[in-house]
Chain A
Amino acid sequence: NAGVTQTPKFRILKIGQSMTLQCTQDMNHNYMYWYRQDPGMGLKLIYYSVGAGITDKGEVPNGYNVSRSTTEDFPLRLELAAPSQTSVYFCASSYQPSREQFFGPGTRLTVL
């Protein structure tokens, strides 16, 4: 099992550009999550999904969108990138809601 995979590993965006961060898991988990991690700020939940077709906002959803068309994939879309979105983004999945979460390796995003 590959677990949770994320692409790309790194990306530099210009202000106003858009991009999609990809996340795929092969553990057949229903629950998937997107977090951002800023220095000294811990992990903040952006969006989560309890199954295909169902998504909901987390703590910091502004400026992001998600979709969940399959159990395996949970892409995160950034529209009109802003410097405040410079961060490390982690995707995670779990078998039970919020219990043991398996994290991907992260995407380091810089918006200039």
Chain B
Amino acid sequence: QKEVEQDPGPLSVPEGAIVSLNCTYSNSAFQYFMWYRQYSRKGPELLMYTYSSGNKEDGRFTAQVDKSSKYISLFIRDSQPSDSATYLCATLFGNEKLTFGTGTRLTIIP
């Protein structure tokens, strides 16, 4: 079993829709949860960073962590064509190494 599982998609939604991206993880020791966004032929960039359970909001983006079910979500409201990218979830325990999901490719259709 992979430590972090992520549906690779691709996922296509119309502009303005709410997007839900999800990951599951197996190691209950993970404490930090991150979402990276990667545009085509670019390096990943950190989008959201949460510690432990709960929600974190930043503009149109909300990151949600449910440690009881080992489930991580990223919600994008009022999706824009500029949100078209691959989204990678990542988890971390202490000072260990980041464990990345395989990424979900998202396309927002104008």
Contact = CB atoms under 8 A, between A and B. Distances in A.
A48 B97 CA distance: 9
Contact of B102 (A42, A99, A102, A103): A42
Contacts of A105: 42-43
B44 A43 contact: yes
A97 B94 CA distance: 9
10 contacts: A42-B6, A42-B103, A43-B98, A90-B43, A98-B97, A99-B92, A100-B34, A100-B46, A102-B45, A105-B42
Interface size class on chain A is: 20 to 34
Contacts of A97: 95
A41 interface: yes
Nearest to A45: B97
B41 interface: yes
Contacts of B102: 40-42
Interface of A: 4, 40-43, 45, 48, 58-59, 90, 92, 97-106
Interface size class on chain B is: 20 to 34
Interface of B, secondary structure class, is loop
A100 B97 contact: no
Residue from A4, A98, A101 having most chain B Cβ neighbours under 10 A: A98
Contacts of B43: 4, 90, 92, 103-106
Contact of A43 (B32, B46, B100): B100
B101 A42 contact: yes
Contacts of B95: 97-98
Contacts of A106: 41-43
A6 to B, nearest CB: 8
Report the 4 A-B pairs with minimum CB-CB distance, sorted nearest first. Answer: A103-B43, A97-B95, A42-B102, A43-B100
Interface string B41-75: 11111100100000000000000000000000000
Given A43-B100, A98-B98, 14 more contacts: A4-B43, A41-B102, A42-B6, A42-B101, A42-B102, A58-B97, A97-B95, A98-B96, A99-B49, A100-B34, A101-B46, A101-B98, A105-B43, A106-B43
